[in-house]
């Protein structure tokens, strides 16, 4: 398995990878021929060694899966996390044999008691919330870690603090990180 993470502006040819239009959901497409409809999905899986699978992110996590027979990649933001994207990916992989790598992402963020808060509470309760300076902080990294095996490899970079990475929450950028997984 090979994983490559770079900025879209660094010359990644997004035409050579399977990358759909992400919608912050939990839809997964299995790529067999390369002719599949990849619009409006946030996860890809393939057994075909000729395909590279990619996800564009700015604060969400790109989570790469490899169980020796297939590879997959999922775009996971708070909506996808709450909608079960990680659990849906594991339906396609042998959880005991799967190697997982997580790209740079926003480790924690401020939220208000709104729809986002309510959805997170439905999924996890309040265990990943902290009050800091009278603001509610969601520990996104810990929530993701709670659903992945302890052997998961996390890129240590945080899009909030690493100014070389794009962060939509930090400055509204349209720049994106591209994470690509392939067999070679």
Render each residue's pLDDT in the chain as its tens digit; 184 residues. Answer: 666 666 554 444 544 565 667 778 889 999 998 888 888 889 999 999 988 898 889 999 999 999 999 999 999 999 999 999 999 999 999 888 999 999 999 999 999 999 999 999 999 999 999 999 999 999 999 999 999 999 999 999 999 999 999 999 999 988 988 899 988 8
**What region does 172 belong to: left with phi over 0, alpha with psi -120 to 50, or beta?**
left
Number of compact structural domains in the chain: 1
Domain assignment of residue 72, yes or no: yes
Domain assignment of residue 63, yes or no: yes
Domain assignment of residue 171, yes or no: yes
Structure confidence at residue 11 (pLDDT) = 47
Structure confidence at residue 5 (pLDDT) = 64
Structure confidence at residue 12 (pLDDT) = 47
- How far from 112 is each of 46, 100, 137, CA to CA, in Å? 38, 31, 9
Which residues have a Cβ under 8 Å from the Cβ of 168 and sit 6 or more positions away?
58, 59
Comparing CA positions, the residue from 40, 75, 38, 43 lying closest to residue 59 is: 75
Domain assignment of residue 137, yes or no: no
| Cβ count near 162 (within 10 Å) | 14
Q: What domain range is 10 assigned to?
A: 2-106+149-182
Structure confidence at residue 154 (pLDDT) = 97
Classify 1 as helix, strand or coil: coil
Domain assignment of residue 134, yes or no: no
- 45: domain CATH number? 3.60.140.10
Structure confidence at residue 19 (pLDDT) = 66
Domain assignment of residue 98, yes or no: yes
């Amino acid at each position: 398995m090979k994983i490559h993470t770079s900025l879209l502006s660094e010359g990644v040819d997004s035409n050579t990878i399977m990358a759909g239009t992400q919608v912050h959901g939990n839809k997964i497409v299995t790529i067999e021929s390369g002719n599949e409809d990849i619009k409006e999905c946030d996860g890809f899986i393939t057994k075909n060694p000729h395909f590279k699978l990619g996800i564009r992110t700015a604060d969400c996590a790109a989570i790469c899966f490899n169980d020796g027979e297939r590879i997959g990649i999922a775009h996971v933001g708070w909506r996808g996390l709450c909608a079960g994207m990680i659990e849906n990916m594991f339906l396609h992989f042998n959880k005991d044999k799967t190697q997982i790598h997580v790209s740079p992402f926003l480790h924690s963020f401020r939220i208000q008691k709104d729809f986002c808060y309510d959805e997170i509470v439905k999924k996890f309760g309040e265990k990943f919330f902290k009050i800091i300076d009278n603001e509610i902080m969601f520990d996104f990294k810990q929530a993701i870690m709670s659903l992945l095996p302890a052997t998961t490899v996390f890129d240590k970079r945080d899009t909030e603090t690493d100014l070389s990475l794009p962060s939509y929450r930090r400055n509204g950028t349209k720049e994106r990180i591209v994470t690509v997984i392939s067999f070679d």
